[in-house]
Amino acid sequence: SSPSACGSQVSIGFPVSIMRDAVEVRLLVYSIAGERIMKLSLAASLVLKDVKQCVEDERSIPIFRQRMLMGHEEIADAEVLGNLSNLALTLVVLPYCEDVAVNNELLVATLADNVVTAEALLRVPVFPDSCDEDGTTPLIIASRRGSLPMAQLLLEAGAQKDLARADGTTPLLAASHQGHLDVVRLLSETLADVNAAHQTGATPLYIAALEAHVDVMRVLCEAAANVDLACHTGATPLFIAAARGHREAAKMLCEAKADLDRPHQTGATPMYIASADGHAEVVTCLCDASANLDKSNLTGATPLHIAAQHGHDEVVRLLCASAARLEVHSRNAATALYLASQQGHVHVVQSLCEARASTCSASETGAVPLHIAAANGHLDVVQFLCSVSREEMERRTQTGRTPLFVASESGHCDVVRFLCEVGACTDVVSG
């Protein structure tokens, strides 16, 4: 059918002024009511598509919905303006195709990354934001696949750059997740919302940090992404980078002035979670950036506590070298040395003692590290602690139990034998 049969029409007149060294085309754009709405002066070397771009910029009418007619004949986008002479043209704005099957063809073409077919469909014109039952648009598909030509085509056709799926996934989120740098840069340059979040609260920067796409993170930060915007659990991009052990991602966020001590909903900071998982390189990065070494979670446990408890000796050494506090007590009054002794991490016990951790700091029950090591049968820890100091061999808990008593009570014969050999009193009565 003729494009003039549908849509609104705007007349365009082309008076031409020809100079000896250059040709300039002056265009007056009128509404159907005769009101002048645009005045353009363009080089005659430009083509008709450049005129359409001016109309889109001024009137927000996508290029693919525009048809330029000379009489009843459509003029090609590639037609050079200087070749039009003194002609009167008509602009026809076409409505989008309402055929669902045709609109679905655009989704299929995008999935196949068939740019030629997609362009032909967009010129029908098919609605560029046609979506499936989950709200997935062609631009989301192109962004997820990393197809820069397809994404450029869809944006040119007027696709909404921030239109999200039902779960909140935007094109920028999809591209950031997959690490498609060129598409992320394109969407950022077209002013896509860099902070638009998934239904979980995860932003493009959070997703990029999760996957360690550092180049993508850098582009997002340059586009003014909020470096501290957290997901619904309270995890920030720096927190998730620290949790995953992504040193370069963490370093980039530190350089971008992210909040180093912003806690998760559990109270855990980036330093805490990196220490808990034994990510020594991230811990080093956070120490270099002056993160708080002693900020505790909701249970009162510090990064040193959790590193000691999990046996991460390298992290423990790093924290001690950075002057983390050795005698902080968690909610149950346990120190880092107590927790390491409880778990039998002898190398961590040695590191903490080398850093001058106290072997006599007691828990809320009055137990010292030697008590808990003996109670759990950790002979190597018991032997090391006794080599550091034998004063705690006769230390009593609140119920009057000595290390030898608790070892005997728990049936750890090797620990009992050792303590007897080094002179522990065998006549103690509890209570």
Could you read off the pLDDT of 200-249 as tens digits, one per residue? 999 999 999 999 999 999 999 999 999 999 999 999 999 999 999 999 99
The CATH H-level superfamily of 96-226 is: Ankyrin repeat-containing domain (1.25.40.20)
State the pLDDT at residue 30.
62
Q: Which of 59-63, 89-93, 96-100, 315-319 has the lowest mean pLDDT?
A: 89-93
Q: Is the pLDDT of residue 22 over 70?
A: no
CB 289 within 8 A of CB 254: yes
How does residue 3 score in pLDDT terms, banded at 50, 70 and 90?
very low
What tokens does 125 get? 């014109």
Could you read off the pLDDT of 287-313 as tens digits, one per residue? 999 999 999 999 999 999 999 999 999
- The domain locations on the chain are 25-93, 96-226, 367-430
- Integer Cα distance of 368 and 181 in angstroms: 54
Q: Which of 4-13, 151-160, 367-376, 409-418 has the lowest mean pLDDT?
A: 4-13
Could you read off the pLDDT of 312-355 as tens digits, one per residue? 999 999 999 999 999 999 888 899 999 999 999 999 999 999 99
Between 409 and 72, name the one with better pLDDT: 409
310: closest CA among 276, 279, 344?
Answer: 276
Where helices occur in 245-335 by DSSP H, the ranges are 247-255, 270-276, 280-288, 303-309, 313-321
Torsion angles phi and psi, residue 285, rounded to 5: -60, -45
Domains 96-226 and 367-430 belong to one CATH topology: yes
Q: Does domain 25-93 have CATH number 3.55.40.20?
A: no
- Domain 367-430: which topology? 1.25.40
pTM of the model: 0.88
Q: 38-47 contacts: CB < 8 A, separation 24 or more? A: 42/81, 43/81, 44/16, 44/80, 44/81, 44/82, 45/80, 45/81, 45/82, 46/80, 46/81, 47/77, 47/78, 47/79, 47/80, 47/81
